[in-house]
Amino acid sequence: MTTTSTSDEELMAAVRADDLDQLVPLFERYHGPLFNYLTRLTNNRDTSEDLTQTVFERILKYRSSYQPTQPFKAWVYQMARNVHADYWQRQQKLRADDDVAEVEKTGGLRGAAFVQMRVSSHHDDLHEALALLPTPQREILVLHRFQGFGYEEIGQLLGCTAEAARVKAHRALQALRKIYFAN
């Protein structure tokens, strides 16, 4: 099987049939985009690298759940969403165990982020504003603007119509503008 002309779906079907060597080209194709996607969601490169590795571990673990008629890209990004959600839940549980003083300190840092935003470059401003969005809004913008997903694909990932995905993206963009141009 030549991997340069082989579709993602064919490679994953081979992985599903226990030809684990075919995971290598999938890793080469998707490691960078998944890492970028997760970095924009977590705003932490080290965490994103760990989460990206977890995605590929899960591909191996859950390879039998892949349906060859399903687009691989949608399947792997759904897996990345699940990995991020699991990470987020663990972080929320850890934060719940923190004392009130630590939570207040974190809240104070958000205000400092707004002050710093005025001083930093436009690129940094945008990424800071993006990081302040709620995760669902940040995710839809990252999928559409940075990962190149169409609204149809985003709708499939989110379990809604393409039009609903478009509306959610529009609202997320409005929220981003509000944060970006605040003060």
pLDDT digits (tens, 9 = 90+) for 100-116: 445 445 554 555 454 44
pLDDT band at 179 (very low <50, low <70, confident <90, very high): confident
Q: pLDDT, tens digit, for every residue of 113-163?
A: 544 444 445 666 777 888 888 888 988 988 888 888 999 999 998 899 999
Lookup: tokens for 84: 């991020």
Helix, strand, coil share of the chain (percent; to 5): 80, 0, 20
User: In this predicted structure, what is the pLDDT of residue 135?
Assistant: 86
> Could you tell me if 45 and 32 are in contact, meaning their C-beta atoms sit under 8 angstroms apart?
no
In angstroms, the CA 8 to CA 16 distance is 12
> What is the mean predicted confidence (pLDDT) over 87-101?
68
Helices (H), 97-161: 100-119, 122-132, 135-141, 151-158
pLDDT attached to residue 122: 63
- Which SS3 state, helix, strand or coil, does residue 59 take? helix
Among the ranges given (25-39, 86-100, 127-141), the one the predictor scored with the smallest mean pLDDT = 86-100
Helix (H, G, I), strand (E, B) or coil at 69: coil
For 148: left if phi > 0, alpha if psi spans -120 to 50, otherwise beta; the answer is left
State the pTM of this model. 0.67
